[in-house]
Chains A and B, each alone.
Chain A
């Protein structure tokens, strides 16, 4: 059953592509899905193909001829390089602490040095292309304290990643106002929960679940 769903999803995705590319990507994506372990993984991969096909269909021939095409490709490569470095760093941290996983809630004084330690230099290494580069960023005490105090633990590492990457890419120092502005623009800034905000959110959800009824007919 699982494979029939994945096949249907691939078929659906491929239908968005130009006729000349359908056969190629149909077979390629099928072989890709075969290599993905687990049913959920396969399903998510197929959903990804839908997005890929939509994106690929949108890139028209006219876009490819534009001068910014090359700039976009450079940005693509930078994105891939950054992503590789980031995942390597995460794996390294995970393997370093693999045997030490325990549910410990550190206090604020401990959180700050942990965050600063986590913001170690990001290393980009592409062995095949003989490329290595190190992106450095230091987190000042006040920014680390702000992140530790205001960002919940499930989003803290993500917030830190954004700060390190943006500052390294743009080449600016991380300051508290910069961090606040940056985290707000990424939607990671702390939100104040008030009775009014809860009421608004519930009302919006109710409107979605129970839409406004139409005018009733009189008997």
Chain B
């Protein structure tokens, strides 16, 4: 639906991962700042689309590598989901 060339909107990610908006966006922001994910605006004029533009996210090559590492490591001691 909102998927264009492997890019996906925040709302769609929320539905897929079952994460609430309050949890999802800080994670996306951190991943983006670390360069593990990148985002860009949906192509199109909001006036013509008749709705605000979506921000589409895409995982980078570094992100894929790190995600694979993270899931491989998942049996290690796992403390504190949230941090700042």
Instruction: Tally chain B residues at the interface, Cβ within 8 Å.
Output: 51
Binary CB contact string for chain A from 70 to 89 against chain B (1 if under 8 A, 0 otherwise): 10111111111111101100
Q: Which residues of the partner chain B approach A86 to less than 8 Å between Cβ atoms? A: 18
B26 A52 Cβ-Cβ under 8 A: yes
B21 A45 Cβ-Cβ under 8 A: yes
Interface size class of A (residues with CB under 8 A): 35 or more
A135 B74 Cβ-Cβ under 8 A: yes
Q: How many A-B residue pairs have CB under 8 A?
A: 151
Residue of A32, A84, A131 near B10 (CB, 8 A) is A32
Q: Verify if A179 is at the interface (C-beta below 8 Å from B).
A: no
Residue of A30, A35, A68, A79 near B81 (CB, 8 A) is A79
Q: Verify if A24 is at the interface (C-beta below 8 Å from B).
A: yes
Q: Which residues of the partner chain A approach B73 to less than 8 Å between Cβ atoms? A: 74, 78
B22 A52 Cβ-Cβ under 8 A: yes
Kindly provide the distance from the CB of A175 to the nearest chain B CB, expressed in whole angstroms.
Answer: 18
A35 B70 Cβ-Cβ under 8 A: no
B75 A73 Cβ-Cβ under 8 A: no
A residues within 8 Å of B by Cβ? 24-25, 27-32, 34-36, 44-52, 55-56, 58-59, 63-64, 68-70, 72-84, 86-87, 124, 126, 128-131, 133, 135, 168-171
Task: Kindly list 8 other residue pairs between chains A and B, CB separation below 8 angstroms, not including A52-B22, A74-B66.
Answer: A28-B55, A55-B82, A64-B30, A77-B71, A80-B19, A87-B17, A135-B74, A169-B76
10 residue pairs of the A-B complex, CB under 8 angstroms, read A32-B11, A36-B11, A48-B22, A50-B22, A74-B69, A75-B80, A77-B67, A80-B17, A131-B68, A169-B78
